[in-house]
Chains A and B, each alone.
Chain A
Amino acid sequence: MSSWRRLHVKARTGGFLSSTPVTPRHTRLRGPFMPCQSLSTGRSLRKGFIKDLENQLSEMKKKAVDALPGSSWSPVLINPNLPPERADIVIVGGGVIGWSIAYWLKQKERVRGGLRVIVVERDPTYSRASTVLSAGGIRQQFSLLENIHLSLASADFMRNINDHLFVLKEDPVDLQFNHSGYMFLANEQVAHIMEENYRTQRSAGAEVSLLSPTQVKEKFPWINTDGVALASYGLENEGWFDPWSLLNAFRRKAVSMGVVQCCGEVTGFKYKTNVVNSVDGEQMFIRRIQSVKVQMPNSLEYQPVECAIVVNAAGAFSGKLAEMLGIGSSPEDSIAGIPLPVEPRKRYIYVVHCPDGPGLDTPFLIDYSGVYFRREGLGGNYITGTSPEEDEEPDTSNLDVDHEFFVDKVWPSLAHRVPAFEKLKVTSAWAGFYDYNTFDQNGIIGVHPLINNMYFATGFSGHGLQQSPAVGRGVAELILDGNFRTLDLSGLSFRRILTQEPMLERNIV
């Protein structure tokens, strides 16, 4: 303590000397008055004082460390990974949708640096992210116009990906796109649906063709066409690609444009609540988010980020995020009582090896039984899987693979459709989450009516990766322009959930 007292005294004298009435202004001013400054008697003393203080501080730190042996505690530790305190837009979820939105927001900003965008991702290794654990397909064979248009626009984006996502001094983006097309097989009961879908797809501009079982057999002799009444086959813009490349390309470009990447988990919000009376006299609580609480990984430290707009792109876990704002916690019959109908669903993907399997022209085949498979590389490897029945959904607490499921559900249908697969070996398998929209299995894009600054881009139920470029553009338009400019996605807004009008895909599987 004695050293501190000494310091105090010194500081006082120094202060007095520098603020004597003769030279007060000169010492405070900088620049042209340099000579005057050097004449000031206080200067050398002040310099000594700062030096002294530094010494004192370092000594104090040393003492503190000595007092707490074995601890790496330091009195002035600042986590360098903390997100900034303020931002314009916080995107929760650094999957492909989140980064796509970030990229399009920066792309559409008027002035360089005009928008401060933060992307918060809790797992930078993406070990549980739906994006990188997906099969990576893109197709236009949907029945809803919105989905077809989204997919076509995304294919267009991927075609010109190096015009969009090119970064100076970096290698061009290589998506490893396989233009092998999709092929859907339908039996007699669903053939009429397929025909109808085919007409919709053609009218939307997708290059799809219908094949009879004989034509299928002629084109792909390895398919067993028993029970097949009709097949639809994509000619262009369909296939599969490397999800990680797309995610990384978006991230690289967005970061180069000034988006801040932040590793942490959003654990809470600070919001303001306004009470509004509806026409029916019902009281409603309209919330506005003021700040997002970002918790650092493996620590108790958190940073509130003040922001104007939050984008919920948390994929499979976006339902949890919405719950934090009280969506779905009120009684059933009110608007606030309707939860965000998105939950994680676990899907298995199996890698099988079959040397006698189909060759280079193998499409992404989807059978009417629900089993799909596609080629993986050139060495006779394939990946396959199917969706389980509604009442047999696996536990979503972990990502363990159920190998029984392959033997019971996948293999029989697969071997029936392609007899070559009777002899195969499962070489590996993984599981990933769908951001499953339990209401109608389609994406939810737009603002929640009761939280007027949270935008949703979630619930894509397995189509998120292939639609991400177009969805990102749509959300950026919604935020910056106030409505959709290029593709009208208003059909995918939250309204359909409030009015209980599902937009169901009329698919054969």
Chain B
Amino acid sequence: MTRPPVHTRLLLYLTQHFYDVEMLLTWMFNRKRTGIQKKNAYLGYAASLYGPQVAAAHFILTLKGGLRFKNQSDWFRANTKGKFSWDFVNYKDVQIEEIDLSNTMVNYRGLENLDTQRSLRTLSLKGCPEVDDWFLARLHVFQDSLEELDISHCPHITTGGLAALRNLKGLKRLDVSSLPRIQSPGLVVILLEDMLPKCDIVATGYDYSFVQEDEESKVQHMQGQSA
């Protein structure tokens, strides 16, 4: 676990003595949560006016993600300031084929905007801090079309969520690199390969630390001998 920054620690220390600080911190926490939930709200009005494709595209672009429509070669992306071109409004009847939501705040609630994309083939969720096991469980809505999924570097994903990928039988490529909360990555990758036999599973960024442990135990052993 990384230590929180100094000001957070100071505030946490003050909560021991002042209810006001505790209230303030709770309020800040709730505000942050509400902010994320607001960003992920269902764009029902846009969907009713322009259709689900446009609503989904707008949702992705406001989250600073990127998307590609079917039979199109160029991607729609937001720039670093979050500005994007509104040309996607012209693709009312074209399905979205690829979605790149890496490093965005997308969460379970936001997934409702993408529910209708039944020809989605690629989904990248690399490094999303709000993607959790429940999100993965919800991906079954794309079970007939999804071929590539990237969930690397997501801090909240655990083994219990990876079991939910069982429904994505058409998956051809799955990236599960550097998931910090997977405890025995070697075993999990083998079990994943068993579960999705047609899928190519990428799992880098883990130290399969058998060797390291051996060295440690050797050192301990030697210490024990010298003692």
Contact across chains for B195 and A359 when beta carbons are under 8 A apart: yes
Contact across chains for B140 and A177 when beta carbons are under 8 A apart: no
A residues less than 8 Å from B108 (CB atoms): 159
The 0/1 profile, CB within 8 Å of B marked 1, for residues 457-500 of chain A is 00000000000000000000000000000000000000000000
Contact across chains for A179 and B33 when beta carbons are under 8 A apart: no
B29 in contact (CB, < 8 A): yes
Closest CB in chain A relative to B47 CB, distance in Å: 19
Q: Which one, B26, B140, B184, contacts A235 given CB within 8 A?
A: B140
B residues less than 8 Å from A361 (CB atoms): 163, 166, 195
Write the chain B residue with the least CB distance to A236.
B137
Contact across chains for B133 and A207 when beta carbons are under 8 A apart: no
Write the chain A residue with the least CB distance to B158.
A176
A407 in contact (CB, < 8 A): no
Total B residues in contact with A, Cβ cutoff 8 Å: 31
Interface centre among B15, B33, B158, B167 (most CB of A within 10 A): B167
Roughly how many angstroms separate A236 CA and B25 CA in the complex, as a whole number?
34
Q: Which one, A168, A177, A178, A360, contacts B26 given CB within 8 A?
A: A168
Q: Which one, B12, B138, B140, B188, contacts A378 given CB within 8 A?
A: B188
Roughly how many angstroms separate A464 CA and B210 CA in the complex, as a whole number?
42
Contact across chains for A179 and B161 when beta carbons are under 8 A apart: yes
Contact across chains for A236 and B138 when beta carbons are under 8 A apart: yes
The 0/1 profile, CB within 8 Å of B marked 1, for residues 171-184 of chain A is 00010111111000
Task: Please report which residues of chain A, range 335-365, place their CB below 8 angstroms from some CB of chain B when the two chains form the complex.
Answer: 359-361
Closest CB in chain B relative to A104 CB, distance in Å: 17
Closest CB in chain B relative to A38 CB, distance in Å: 34
Write the chain B residue with the least CB distance to A155.
B134
Contact across chains for B138 and A360 when beta carbons are under 8 A apart: no
Roughly how many angstroms separate A168 CA and B4 CA in the complex, as a whole number?
13
Roughly how many angstroms separate A235 CA and B163 CA in the complex, as a whole number?
11
Contact across chains for A378 and B187 when beta carbons are under 8 A apart: yes
A169-B15 contact, Cβ under 8 Å, with A159-B108, A237-B137, A360-B194 = yes
Main secondary structure of the interface of A (DSSP, over half): loop
A residues less than 8 Å from B160 (CB atoms): 176-180, 239
Write the chain A residue with the least CB distance to B132.
A159
Contact across chains for A179 and B191 when beta carbons are under 8 A apart: no
Contact across chains for A378 and B184 when beta carbons are under 8 A apart: yes
Roughly how many angstroms separate A179 CA and B138 CA in the complex, as a whole number?
10
Main secondary structure of the interface of B (DSSP, over half): helix
Q: Which one, A174, A178, A237, contacts B163 given CB within 8 A?
A: A178
A residues less than 8 Å from B191 (CB atoms): 359-360, 378
B residues less than 8 Å from A359 (CB atoms): 191, 194-195
B62 in contact (CB, < 8 A): no
Roughly how many angstroms separate A163 CA and B130 CA in the complex, as a whole number?
13
Q: Which one, A166, A168, A177, A235, contacts B22 given CB within 8 A?
A: A168
Contact across chains for B134 and A159 when beta carbons are under 8 A apart: yes
B119 in contact (CB, < 8 A): no
Interface centre among A174, A235, A360 (most CB of B within 10 A): A360
A residues less than 8 Å from B167 (CB atoms): 235
A residues less than 8 Å from B188 (CB atoms): 360, 378
Roughly how many angstroms separate A177 CA and B133 CA in the complex, as a whole number?
8
Roughly how many angstroms separate A168 CA and B8 CA in the complex, as a whole number?
11
Roughly how many angstroms separate A310 CA and B158 CA in the complex, as a whole number?
40
A179-B15 contact, Cβ under 8 Å, with A168-B26, A360-B191, A361-B195 = no
B162 in contact (CB, < 8 A): yes
B residues less than 8 Å from A179 (CB atoms): 133-134, 136-137, 160-161, 163-164
The 0/1 profile, CB within 8 Å of A marked 1, for residues 131-165 of chain B is 00110111010000000000000000011111110
Contact across chains for A360 and B162 when beta carbons are under 8 A apart: yes
Task: Please report which residues of chain B, range 91-142, place their CB below 8 angstroms from some CB of chain A when the two chains form the complex.
Answer: 108, 133-134, 136-138, 140
B192 in contact (CB, < 8 A): yes
Contact across chains for B164 and A166 when beta carbons are under 8 A apart: no
A residues less than 8 Å from B134 (CB atoms): 159, 177, 179
Contact across chains for A236 and B140 when beta carbons are under 8 A apart: yes
B residues less than 8 Å from A181 (CB atoms): 164, 166
Closest CB in chain B relative to A233 CB, distance in Å: 9
A residues less than 8 Å from B136 (CB atoms): 179
Roughly how many angstroms separate A271 CA and B73 CA in the complex, as a whole number?
78
Closest CB in chain A relative to B104 CB, distance in Å: 19
Roughly how many angstroms separate A360 CA and B174 CA in the complex, as a whole number?
16
Task: Please report which residues of chain A, range 152-199, place their CB below 8 angstroms from some CB of chain B when the two chains form the complex.
Answer: 159, 163, 166, 168-169, 174, 176-181
A residues less than 8 Å from B163 (CB atoms): 178-180, 239, 360-361
Write the chain A residue with the least CB distance to B184.
A378
Roughly how many angstroms separate A166 CA and B30 CA in the complex, as a whole number?
10
Roughly how many angstroms separate A177 CA and B134 CA in the complex, as a whole number?
9
Closest CB in chain A relative to B160 CB, distance in Å: 4
A residues less than 8 Å from B192 (CB atoms): 360
Task: Please report which residues of chain A, range 353-397, place their CB below 8 angstroms from some CB of chain B when the two chains form the complex.
Answer: 359-361, 378
Q: Which one, A159, A207, A360, A378, contacts B166 given CB within 8 A?
A: A360
Task: Please report which residues of chain A, range 198-212, place their CB below 8 angstroms from some CB of chain B when the two chains form the complex.
Answer: 207
Task: Please report which residues of chain A, range 226-274, place their CB below 8 angstroms from some CB of chain B when the two chains form the complex.
Answer: 235-237, 239
Supply 16 A–B pairs (Cβ within 8 Å), ascending by A: A159-B108, A166-B29, A168-B29, A177-B133, A178-B160, A179-B160, A179-B163, A179-B164, A180-B164, A207-B140, A239-B163, A359-B195, A360-B194, A360-B195, A361-B163, A378-B184
- Additional 12 contacts, C-beta under 8 A, given A168-B15, A168-B25, A236-B164: A159-B134, A168-B12, A168-B26, A169-B15, A174-B158, A177-B134, A177-B160, A179-B161, A359-B195, A360-B188, A360-B192, A361-B195
* 7 shortest interchain CB distances as A-B pairs: A179-B164, A361-B166, A178-B160, A360-B191, A179-B137, A159-B134, A361-B195
